[in-house]
Structures are given as structure tokens and as C-alpha cells.
Amino acid sequence: MTDMALNEMGRSHVLIAESSNAQIIRRQLEELHLWNGDFQCRRIIPNKVALPVSLKGDNSQALKDKWPSLAVEEMDLTVSKKCQARKTAPSCRLRGKLQLKLKEYSLSEDLMRELPTKWEKHEDLILLPCSSFISPQWNLIADLWEVVAQCLNCKRLARHSTIAQNGFRSSQVKILLGKDGEVTHTDNGVKYSYDVTKCMFSAGNISEKLRLARLNCKGEIIVDLYAGIGYFTLPYLVHAKADHVHACEWNPDAVSALQNNLKLNGVSERCTVHYGDNRELKLTSVADRVNLGLIPSSEDGWPVAVQVLKETGGVLHVHGNVTTNEQHNLQTGGLKIHHGTNNRECTTVVHSSDLTSNNKPLHNYQFSDTNCFDKLLETRDSNLDSSPVPSLDNTSTVSSACSYWSSQVQEKITVLLETVKGGHWSVKECHIELVKWYAPHIMHVVLDLECRPRVAFVNNAN
């Protein structure tokens, strides 16, 4: 920012206070919402300070009531750095430019509601939310996308859309400006190259990718049943140092991107890509660890996960969406139980329906953390732009929903193991990871299950 910008001046009402009391009065002004943060304080004589105040509404009377002996004047002040940054921010530039465009084309100011306040940036491509610029009137502005790109400092523009319900969960991103959607995204030193119009990339899964990267998988064979473009396959190979990963994927665009990403990260020789439906996978008893990274539910992959697990057992990482809700008669798929909370009945639902993800990450909370659920709910409330949560969606209900889901998964996996592998098996929860809020009341959870034949425990005990 230039010196001229740093010294930008503006006019504001001020409260004239003694220097010795200035800090105390400033705090009181902030508490009463009378402080004008767009300007800096100004020392006018050695023992007097001009404090910028806002005189909107009945603020003038509030100032007189609180400080009847202090004068209120109007003077030139230096604009605060925060205000200058806000004025030069891309979103502010965008609003200013498009307000002029709407006037030029005699279009309604109501269209301003469709301007994005946040977006994803991938190299020189900006990916806008699906709610941006959706009214057909925007098409009347001939150079709209060039103006948006200039304001957001990018060369290419695209817009999110709902995920295609074609079995592949394909991206339906639309290119608005530019010839293609090819980008490269780097997470934790791992490079992911893909076409945003063909493949999805979930930035909200970063906490789970970081967790897997910290594992020590030396000497292990891993089967990733829903590999996509390599979201989890690559951290297993690059950071966790797995001996080999069998990556299963049936979306041809994702397979192409996966193969490219394996080369890009120099790990192709340690990965076998199985193209097609993983339910027809021919592998048997090879895996020390199986990754089931599909939401809202990975249940279709549980039988093949059991099939590929070694006879001596291993670990399953089971992804799923878990929902808590107060409604009695919830019309949705999933397992349901009724239990009493605060002398009221509520319904806990293990959710299996598909919703559009807003991919809001948590902060790698674990159930072993003392105040994990309180932090979880605070994060949800601060991150989601959606409808307010019911009063019953609290710590105990969230904990109950996750515990119930975990117990159901353990029971089903045990039955599958004893049916497919034979004998008696011990399946126990060793960790639950809260990955992100998927939608209001719905969290993306990963359950780590250690699966061992019971005879192995007997032998070890001897």
C-alpha cells in the first residue's frame, strides 16, 4: 500500500476526551457500538484526543447521556488501515464496479444479493459459489465476466453446481471465462491436478488427509476403495510411506487424474489402479488397512473391505455422515433410535441421504479431547451460514448419535467378517475423527476400526 493510501483522510464526528481517559472511553464506545472504526484517533492538543464516533440513529443522544460534559465535533481524520484494506479488497472492488454496471444497464439493485462474498482460488481460476450471478438479467451485461475477473484478480472463472447424480458423483462446474478448468492444487506438499469441470476436490477433507499423512504405514499394503483423484491414496504414499496402495475408482475422469497425480508426485510404482466397480474387485486378503472414503455412506463397500482384509486382520477407516435432529418423524433414510433427553423424546438419525456439501472444516478434534463436542458445536455455529440449530442439537445428542452409529457399524462389520472370513472376530473402535460439517446438523465422521480374529488374541495372551 502506498504512503498516499496510508494517509488517506476522511470526515467524521469525534468525541473530545482527555488523553488520560481516552483508552477507557474508547472501550466504552466500542461496547455501546458508538465507535467509528473507519478512522484513527487524533491528538489535537497535548492533553486532548479526538475519538471517532458514529452518529447513526439515536447515537447522538446516547453520547450526550453518557458523556454530557464532553464536546462532539466534526473534523478530518486519517482513515484506519482496516478500512483502507476493506475498500481495496476484491469483494469491495467487485461491489463498486457492478453497482455502476447495474446503473448503466438500468438493472435492479436486488441483483447485488447474488454477488459472492467468498470463493475458491485455484491458480489463476476462481470458482464461485453456485448461488452467484444466477438471475438471467446478468446476461445483459456484455463484459460481465471480464469485469468480475479483473476485480478478483484472475484469468479464468467458473461456477459451482450440484453434484451429478450419475453414480460417479461428477462435477458439474460451469466455465464462465476461459477455455478449460485444468488446475493443480497443493495440500501438505501433495499435488493434485484435475479438471474442475470433471472432478471434485473437497478442501474440507484437509484435516483427514493430514491425519492419514501422520500415520506410519511402512510395510503395509493399503486398499483405497474410493480413490477419486487420489485424495487419500497420495498422502498414504507420499507421507505415510505405505509399501503399496491398491486404488479403486470407477469414474473415468477421476482415474485419468489419479494416474496423472501418481506420476506428478513420483509414486506410480507403488500404486496399482483398479478401474471399475470395486464390488467386483478380485483382490483377496491383501490389506493391512482399508480406506472407505465415501459419503454420505460407504456401506456398499463394507463387504469388499472385509474381503480384502488380511486373514490376520487390520484397520478399516469408515467414512459416513452422522446427523442429530430433534424431530420425531424425520422423513429421511438411515437408522433411527428414540431416547430421552431433558425429559423429552428426541430422534437420533444416522443419515444416508445425499445433500450438497458446503465443506466447512473442523479443527481435527478427537473424541478423546475433554471438550471436543463443545468445540464442535461452537465451530458449527460460527462456520455455517444455514438455518439455526434446534436447542436439542447439543453435546450429549451429538455424542449419542456418533456412539450409536459406531456401534451399528461395528455390529455389521463383525457379521460380515465372520460370514466372509469365518471364525470369530473382535471389532473395536480405536478412534473417531470429526472431519467437517457437511450441512446443518450433519457431520462427516471417520470411524477407525481394528478388526482381529479372536484366536489371535488368545495366542498373544499365551
More confident residue, 275 or 456: 275
User: Is there a contact between 163 and 140 (Cβ–Cβ < 8 Å)?
Assistant: no
Whole-angstrom distance, CA of residue 117 vs CA of residue 128: 9
User: Is there a contact between 233 and 227 (Cβ–Cβ < 8 Å)?
Assistant: yes
Whole-angstrom distance, CA of residue 257 vs CA of residue 153: 27
Q: Which residues contact 19 (CB under 8 A, 6 or more apart)?
A: 43, 46, 47, 48, 49
Confidence class for position 376, pLDDT limits 50, 70, 90: very low
What is the average pLDDT value for the chain, to the nearest integer?
79
Q: Which residues contact 59 (CB under 8 A, 6 or more apart)?
A: 34, 53
The answer to whether residue 322 scores a pLDDT higher than 80 is: yes
User: Is there a contact between 449 and 413 (Cβ–Cβ < 8 Å)?
Assistant: yes
Whole-angstrom distance, CA of residue 54 vs CA of residue 36: 5
The answer to whether residue 409 scores a pLDDT higher than 90 is: yes
3-state secondary structure of 51: strand
The answer to whether residue 202 scores a pLDDT higher than 50 is: yes
Average pLDDT over residues 302-313: 96
Whole-angstrom distance, CA of residue 445 vs CA of residue 313: 22
Confidence class for position 351, pLDDT limits 50, 70, 90: very low
User: How many CB atoms lie under 10 A from the CB of residue 136?
Assistant: 7
Nearest one of 218, 230, 223 to 309, comparing CA atoms: 223
Q: 326: alpha, beta or left, given left = phi > 0 and alpha = psi -120 to 50?
A: alpha
DSSP letter assigned to residue 388: P
Whole-angstrom distance, CA of residue 52 vs CA of residue 50: 6
Sheet containing strand 42-45, edge to edge, reads 42-45, 48-53, 9-18, 72-78
Amino acid at position 164, single letter? A
Average pLDDT over residues 451-457: 77
Buried b (16+ CB within 10 A) or exposed e, 254-282: bbbbbbbbbebbebeeebebbeeebeebe
User: How many CB atoms lie under 10 A from the CB of residue 141?
Assistant: 19
Q: What does the pLDDT read at residue 417?
A: 96
User: How many CB atoms lie under 10 A from the CB of residue 344?
Assistant: 10
Average pLDDT over residues 223-246: 96
Average pLDDT over residues 283-307: 94
Confidence class for position 84, pLDDT limits 50, 70, 90: low
| pTM passes above 0.75 | no
Q: What would the pLDDT profile of 138-153 be if each residue is shown by its tens digit?
A: 999 999 999 999 999 9
Q: What would the pLDDT profile of 241-293 be if each residue is shown by its tens digit?
A: 999 999 999 999 999 999 999 999 999 999 999 999 999 999 999 999 999 99
